[in-house]
Structures are given as C-alpha cells and as structure tokens.
Structure 1
Amino acid sequence: MLKLSILEQSPISEGSTPGQALENSTRLAKAAEKWGYRRIWFAEHHDSEGLASVSPEIMIAHVAAQTSRIHVGSGGVLLPHYSPYKVAENFHLLENLHPGRIDLGIGRAPGGMPGATWALNDTSRRDLNDFPRKVRDLIGFLTDNLPPDHPLRMVRATPRSGKTPEMFLLGSSDGSAGIAAEMGTPFMFAHFINPHGGSEVVQSYRARFRSSVLYKDPKSAVCIFTVCAETDEEAERQASTLRYWMIKIAQGQSAAIPTIEEAEQFNPSEWERGMMEENRGRMIVGSPRKVKRELENLAAAYQTDEVMLITNIHDFEAKLRSFELIAKVMH
C-alpha cells in the first residue's frame, strides 16, 4: 500500500493572518493522523508574506505535543545557515520529548530572498560548498560517531536519546541526490519544485548509495503539489489559487495565497500562460479516482512506496477535504 505524507508550509491566505495559518497547520496535523497519513513535515521559509512556517523545530514541538502517532518532522532544516551541532541537539531534544516520532529533513536551499539569507548568516557569506561537510558532521553528532581526527570529537550532542530521528536529504537535483547517496541517507525528491528528470535522479541515487551508520539500504520518496475534490472541475477551481500564487512567486512577489475570485479574474500574459502550463507538471489535480491513478503512476516512476503531498490553496476547508478524499481513496 502506498504511504501518504504531508509537507506543510503554513500558507497564509489572502484576508487571513499568520496566526490563523499556524492554527490551520495544527488542525491539519490532527486530521492527517486520524486519516492515516504517515508523517507531516514543516518547511522553513523566511521573509515571506505568504508562508508562516519559518522554524520547523518550533512547529514540530508544537504539533507533536498535540498528536500521538503521526511522525512530525522538518521539510527541511536549511543546514547551510546553521551549526550541525545545534541542529543535532535540537533533534535529540525533540526525540526525547516524542520518542520514535521525529523526522529530520535537511535541505540546502536558501529559504528566502538574498536579504534573508544575508540576515540568517549574520551578514557572513553562505558557502554551499561546505554543505557535504555539514551533513557529515550532523550525522556524526546525531550518532555520537565523529571520526577520531575530528577537532570536535570530544563534544557530545545532548540530551542523548535511545533512537536517532529518521533523517532525509531533500532536493530537486542530482547534486543533493549525490550527497544523500554518498552519506547513506534517504532522499526526498521535490517534484513540486522540479518536474523534470526526477525519476532518473532517484535511480542514480539508488545506484550510488553507500551504506552508512544510519541506513544499510537506499530509501527514497517524492513530494508533489496535490489538489483533490469531488469532481475534476471543482479541483481545478480550487487549484486556480495555487496556479496564480505560483506565478506571483516566480515573479519575485512575496504574496499571500489569492482568493478564487482573484485567480478567476487573472488575465495572464503569453509568458504567464506558458509558465502556468509548465507548472501543471508540478502538480496532480482532480477527482479522487484521477488523483489515485496519478499518484500511483508517480510512485511507480520513482520506484517508491511513499508520496508526500503539498496543498497550498486559499480555502483551508477545501484543503482539509482534499487530504481526506485522498486518504479514503488510497486506503
């Protein structure tokens, strides 16, 4: 049976507030647990008028305390901004608070515009070339297994826990997949960001995978925008707010999720129409039967038994209904 999970960015709908977006995320997590979703991850985005999830660790602590079974994690912590030691301690603490339920997704994207990146790094330069070293150190701190010649080998990430959080590397290219393969971690491909060549990237990851102290075998999953409703027509109507929002984001706007009325009144230029058509490859939209078929096809293409869904639409009740319909039709 295909496992279903959720990536939540806590989208802020036009006319709503960040507080309401965060409350909605908590409601979603509780409902997702009831419907049998495997995990819910919280993203990290900065200086955004449209996304409220800036700190996955805080969201994990809050949501895990209000649920009991569903895995709660980061999708992801943007490691280039941070000390691997501090990240390891945060997730050791979360694992102690909620044993066996914490996931650690790691990304290398900036998570915002250049100014936010500059601020996050306290006006220092962010060196992406250091990312593999940071991943290696993070695994070392998480497993208390730094190399004998490491300058910090005597330092322990506390509080120690009986289990290491399940760790994924996230990415939309072969670069991140290669690091995941080299480090021996699971890999989550962001099809909702890059709809091209993902299955080949994951196939290459599997072929290059090296066993690690954490994982003996490769493990991969894929994440895609998904909108489901009782009919294809209603699903398209709800998804219109996502499509319009994606155009705004592509144009560098930090925007809330627009209303259906705004989306329906939008008169795209030729370039915008082309972009909207291109973006169709980043999402699955339709009735339960259509969504089921396309999710199964996607999982087969990626040779995975887990698909993560992300649903950024204006109407939160329609978003909840989308996840409920998908859970029912898939299970």
Structure 2
Amino acid sequence: MRYSLVELAPVAPGTSKSAALERGLAAAGEAEQLGYDRIWFAEHHHSTGYASADPVPMVAAAVARTSRIRIGSGAVLLNHHSAFAVAERFMMLQAMAPGRVDLGLGRSSAGGLIDAALRRDRDSRPVDDFSAQVQEVLGYFHRAFPAGHGLATVDLTTSVDGVPDVWILGSSVASAHLAGQLGIGYVYGAHINPAATWAALERYRESFVATPFGSGVPRPILTLHVAAADDDEQAHRLTWPARALRAGGRDRPIPTVEQATAELSGRDKALTSAVRGDVIPPQIAGTPGSLREQLEPLIRATGVAEIIVQDMLTDFALRSRSREIIAKVLGSIDAPPR
C-alpha cells in the first residue's frame, strides 16, 4: 500500500511563516525517510494560517533536499493561472528532477477580493473553463493539440527527460468524471466531502478512458485527514485544531491542541474521529492498532492503492510521531488488486 502527504506549511501561533515553510520543507526529508511515496505542497492565497501560498518554490526547494520521493502540487489552482505558465514551470521542475514531479490540478476560490486580485483581466467576467485548461496543460506536455491548432507548434518538452505526472484533485462527481474522461489519475478529497466519496470513485472508474496522458488504467487516490498517537484519547485530541479552525474562522494561525481544547464546545470535541462502516468522518484518528482496524476495511471497500494524508498539526514532535505511526500502519496493509 502506498502512502503520501499533502503539506500545507501551517503557521503556529506566535511563529513566523519562515518557520512554517522550513518545517514544511523538513517534512519532505522526513517523509522520504519514512517511506512516503510522494509529498505535495498546497496553494493557499492570502492566508494567515498556511505559509504555502504557491507550490512551485516549495517543490523546487524540496527537490534539492531529497533524492527519491515524488514531489508536486496538491494542488495548483488552475482557475488562477495560465495553463501555459503552469505547464512551463512544471516542465522546468521536471528538468530539475526527472521522474519525480507530480502536477496536481484543482480549482478553488480564495474569496471574492483575492480571486479578483489574482486575475490579469479584471474587466471581463470570470468563466469556468477548468476542463479546457486541464486539456491545454496536457496538450503542452504531450504535444497533443490538433493539427492546425494555434498552439500546436509550441514545444515545452524539448531537451527535457519526460513530463510531469498529471492528476486532478477534487471533491465532486464532476471532477471524477473529468479525470476519467482524460485518462489521468484522480485524487478524491474525502476530508472535504466525505459523503460523496463512494459516488465519485465509482464515477471515475466508470468514465475512465485509456489515453496517452496517463498510465492506461484508473489510478484513484483517497485523501484523508488523519492524526495518530500512541493512545486513542491523545489521537482524538489531535483532530481538534482542524475542528477549531472550522468553528472559529480560518483567517488566523492554526490553533494548537491546547488552544483548540479551550475553544471547542463539548459537542465539537465529541464528534467521532473513527471510520464506521462506509461513513468517513472529516477527521480520522487512532493508534497503530485502531487505525489499522479503521483503514484496512476502507481501503478494501474503496479499492484505492494509495492514501494521501493531511493534518493540521503545528507541534513538530506530535506531527512527526503521527506521521511515523501512519506510515507504519499504511505500509503494513496490502494494496487491493486493481
């Protein structure tokens, strides 16, 4: 079973974004040592709580600190960027680390003001052209524009060994369908919309068409928010910063476990952090034993061969121990047959 990380570079109260970015980069080396398959860096604009505003410099810096682990974006928010600019930047990263670069593509709003600030042309109305943008990126990587297309003569691949592996990250059935139709990998954010997990994975597999853009077979990945510790009570508490962030507003540093303990209501603290049957909570927690009891049946039921883990932990020791436990648990589970 493969296991990976998405790193947000969370900012702890009283600390700087410089410190958060350094911890985020250190996470790449640690993840490589723990056997993680990949680490992806997030894109969060104008955020007090997350230092990773742009994945590209994080990927470049992490590539220089590691030798094996795949490194990429989780995700580049394509609605804020030119497809050409994204493709060119990631081809540059591919030249720096052939065979190790992933381009995860998604879309999201940073709020009305920042969405407008990110736009080059503020006089025209924004359009939802995510599908066309993804296809344009793939066109650059694979020289796949139709004959006569204005961009058919553009070649970003000259003198570069290979191209980045492209994934669509989403939390809806629509994103699953798009990934399937394009024949590329799909990462479903079960921590964002757990209720639609089963429908999205089914749609991805049903709609999958083998294309030159992917491996030829469906590659679904599940993203889960997971926290682990050596006792279940402590592990459950490690989910509270994420809950406090949702309850108390996002425009602030990530709460510590102690702050979250003081802020959350008894009801919020008591919300389950355990997978029960086909019900996936937004935050999952456990010990080595209880996590395996939860995750192995979920992996069997979903048929995914890889889990990407997210957390909201700013305490270095707690985070490191959590990720060590998760690596051991997921590494001990056999991947389901394709």
Q: TM-score under structure 2 normalisation?
A: 0.90
- Encode CA deviations 1:285-322: one digit per residue, 9 max, x unaligned: 11111112222233223211100000112312201110
Write the distance in 2 (CA, Å) between the matches of 1:300 and 1:308: 16
Write the distance in 2 (CA, Å) between the matches of 1:151 and 1:30: 42
**1:115 Cα deviation from its structure 2 partner:** 1.2
Residue type matched to 1:328 in 2? Answer: K
- Encode CA deviations 1:84-118: one digit per residue, 9 max, x unaligned: 111111111111100110001000112x2221111
Q: 2:325 maps to what in 1?
A: 325
Conservation of the 8 A alpha-carbon contact between 2:43 and 2:53: yes
Write the distance in 1 (CA, Å) between the matches of 2:113 and 2:262: 32
Write the distance in 2 (CA, Å) between the matches of 1:230 and 1:181: 39
**1:188 Cα deviation from its structure 2 partner:** 0.2
Q: 1:113 maps to what in 2?
A: 111
Write the distance in 1 (CA, Å) between the matches of 2:243 and 2:316: 16
Q: 1:277 maps to what in 2?
A: 271
Q: 1:264 maps to what in 2?
A: 261
Conservation of the 8 A alpha-carbon contact between 1:295 and 1:307: no
Q: Where do residues 286-301 of structure 1 align in structure 2 (5 Å cutoff)?
A: 286-301=286-301
- Encode CA deviations 1:208-232: one digit per residue, 9 max, x unaligned: 1111112222111010101000000
Write the distance in 1 (CA, Å) between the matches of 2:119 and 2:63: 28
SS across alignment from 1:224 = strand
- Encode CA deviations 1:196-250: one digit per residue, 9 max, x unaligned: 121221111111111111222211101010100000011122222222122234x
Q: Where do residues 60-139 of structure 1 align in structure 2 (5 Å cutoff)?
A: 60-110=59-109, 112-122=110-120, 124=122, 127-139=126-138
Write the distance in 1 (CA, Å) between the matches of 2:127 and 2:70: 29
Write the distance in 1 (CA, Å) between the matches of 2:166 and 2:120: 27
With 254-263 and 9-18 compared, the bigger mean Cα shift is at: 254-263
Q: 1:197 maps to what in 2?
A: 196
Q: Where do residues 189-228 of structure 1 align in structure 2 (5 Å cutoff)?
A: 189-215=188-214, 216-228=216-228
Q: What is the identity percentage for the equivalent residue pairs of Structure 1 and Structure 2?
A: 34
Q: 1:247 maps to what in 2?
A: 247
Q: 1:23 maps to what in 2?
A: 22
Q: 2:148 maps to what in 1?
A: 149
Conservation of the 8 A alpha-carbon contact between 2:239 and 2:284: no
Write the distance in 1 (CA, Å) between the matches of 2:118 and 2:289: 44
Write the distance in 2 (CA, Å) between the matches of 1:127 and 1:77: 18
Conservation of the 8 A alpha-carbon contact between 1:288 and 1:329: yes
| Root mean square deviation of aligned Cα | 1.9
Conservation of the 8 A alpha-carbon contact between 1:192 and 1:282: yes
> Which consecutive unaligned segments of at least 5 residues does structure 1 have?
none
